[in-house]
Copies of this chain bind each other. A is one copy, B any other.
Amino acid sequence: MQLSGQSIIGTRRATASGGVFYAVNPRTGERLEPAFHSAGDRDLDEAVALAAAAAGAYRALPRSQRVEFLREIAAQLESLGRALIERVTLETALSEARARGELERTANQLRFLAGIVEEGSWVDARIDTGDAKRKPAKPDVRSMLRPLGPVAIFCAGNFPLAFSVAGGDTASALAAGNPVVVNAHYSHPGTAEMCGVAIAAAARRAMIPDGVFSLLISRGPHIGQVLVAHPLIKAAAFTGSRTGGLALAETARSRPEPIPFFGEMSGSNPVFVLPHAWAQRGDAIVAGLAASVTGSVGQFCTKPGLVLVEEGRAGDALVVALGREIGGTRPAPMLNAGILENYRLLVEARTRDARVRRVAQAAGGAGAGPALFETDADTLLGNPDLAAEVFGPATLVVRYRTLDQALEIAAMEGNLTGTVHAGSGDEEEAARLAAALEGRVGRILFDGYPTGIEVCQAMVHGGPYPATTDGRSTSVGGRAVERFARPVCFQDVPASLLPEELRPGNPSGVWRRVNGEMTMFE
């Protein structure tokens, strides 16, 4: 595919307008062709106006057409094949295997969401039939989840496919029946354009109204801020840093009409290794933890940033073994120069920090050297800033004296995940930790590692603030569709004006709650 370096406004290309920038190969520091022209305010206005104009028509399409659209996007992405994988690896320094896996996940995610739309019950249709004889007459009341309107999607830097232009947020918003205006990540504009072209092609094939998809490519925070502030945008979703997320959240809520804003900002993802687990399968835990900390150069929002281990000899051995493993992992380039610089600065600061001890750091070669630090629970509880995320392949082992300290750490701050490794004999401690974690995380794991998220109906990738700005939602899994919808109620509305899922006789064949009972047959 010949890259144009231009944004996509519905079915058109933007004409060269804003400043020029290039993608950079993080392995070499060399710039990559072609030049990208930053979208300007006019491009943005056009994209949003088109999206708003298309919202009614898109919402009203038979859902089979939305299903086709999502599946066609998956097919178009796959047909890009090697060219896409190459561009991803050039722009992000991620490995080819990772890029291939992510493309597969992205396509599967689109098909997973297509399946949810096809099955149709996610709309939570409810019907309470009327009764004219009751005094006063009982109205006919029906409700279901309906789309919000144009959604602004912010691409994540660390998932150039699965949480970028054609990623989970775009797919969920489209699945729910909303037009999207996507704000590309400046760090992989070529990948973004390729995916944008694939979506535009899919839209044409599935005969989706012009403006349901637009892609704004730019550098710097301006376009994103203006997009969230735009009065015709009705919701926004973001995955990235806490600073970026909170700035956009502030814009979303200080608009004349505040809108739902879903910011996914990660955190420390504590992993508790209980004594019997360590004794019974210590080697596997060390290997698993090291892989989870260093996989994809630690650039996952669920990377374990805190590892909680009891004081004493057994724990000492874990620290030594984990240090050996992490310190022995080769340094590797990160997503871009800014992220690498930031990682180096944070690791240097920790190295100089008297409150923590550096256990190990990989040396040699360019890029980010995986690092392991250690401190004790008293220090962490007295210095909660030590729990702050270090984006990259570093983690902090925290040694606790008592379970109460571990419980206090579990309750410190909202997180995406909390993990417990429990062996035979750890049952009581594990139960108490799980109960403490439940109030503070979106996902509790046992005997596993938080990275590597299963895309399935039950997955929750969200959590209480500051893990996200809206802890009642998830960006992965079946429930991701729901956050781009709201319940709308139809009281005594003629059948011809009802959405298909609420019509008499259930022509959609979805599960509905009719007069309180779940049924597919009425």
Contact = CB atoms under 8 A, between A and B. Distances in A.
24 contacts: A55-B439, A126-B458, A128-B456, A128-B458, A138-B454, A139-B454, A143-B443, A143-B459, A257-B465, A258-B469, A259-B465, A260-B471, A441-B488, A443-B489, A444-B488, A444-B490, A444-B491, A446-B494, A446-B497, A457-B513, A464-B486, A471-B486, A479-B487, A518-B518
Nearest to A487: B460
A157 interface: no
Interface string A442-475: 1111111000101011111010111001111010
A142 interface: yes
A414 interface: yes
A230 to B, nearest CB: 15
A16 interface: no
A459 B474 CA distance: 25
The residue among A430, A465, A487 with the most chain B CB atoms within 10 A of its own CB is A487
A173 to B, nearest CB: 14
Tell me which of A128, A142, A457, A511 has the highest count of chain B C-beta atoms within 10 A of its own C-beta: A457
A489 B459 contact: yes
A447 B494 CA distance: 10
Contacts of A317: none
A143 B431 contact: no
A465 B258 contact: yes
Contact of A460 (B127, B489, B496): B489
A117 to B, nearest CB: 13
B497 A456 contact: no
A200 to B, nearest CB: 25
Given A126-B457, A431-B497, A438-B488, 12 more contacts: A139-B445, A141-B459, A143-B460, A258-B469, A444-B488, A444-B491, A446-B494, A448-B492, A472-B483, A472-B485, A474-B487, A479-B487
Nearest to A127: B458
Contacts of A253: 253
Contacts of A146: 438
Contacts of A445: 139, 491-493
Interface pairs A-B: 5 shortest CB-CB: A460-B489, A126-B458, A443-B489, A128-B456, A472-B486
A458 B115 contact: no
A321 interface: no
B491 A142 contact: no
Contacts of A493: 434, 444-446
A516 interface: yes
A341 interface: no
Interface of A: 55-56, 60, 115, 119, 121, 124, 126-128, 136, 138-139, 141-143, 146, 149, 253, 257-260, 414, 422, 430-431, 434-435, 438-439, 441-448, 452, 454, 456-460, 462, 464-466, 469-472, 474, 477-479, 483, 485-494, 496-497, 511, 513, 515-516, 518
B138 A478 contact: no
Contacts of A454: 128, 138-139, 141, 491
A448 B493 CA distance: 10
Contacts of A457: 126, 128, 513, 515-516
Contacts of A471: 260, 486
Given A460-B487, A513-B478, A439 B492 contact: no
B462 A487 contact: yes
Contacts of A491: 443-446, 448, 454
A492 B452 contact: no
Contacts of A435: 56, 60
Contacts of A141: 454, 456, 458-459
Contacts of A518: 121, 511, 518
Contacts of A456: 128, 141
Scoring A456, A477, A496, A518 by chain B CB atoms within 10 A of each residue's CB, the highest score goes to A456
A211 to B, nearest CB: 16
Nearest to A124: B479
Contacts of A422: 494
A131 B422 CA distance: 20
Contacts of A260: 470-472
A431 B490 CA distance: 13
Contacts of A483: 472
A149 B439 CA distance: 8
Given A136-B452, A141-B454, A458-B142, A257 B466 contact: yes
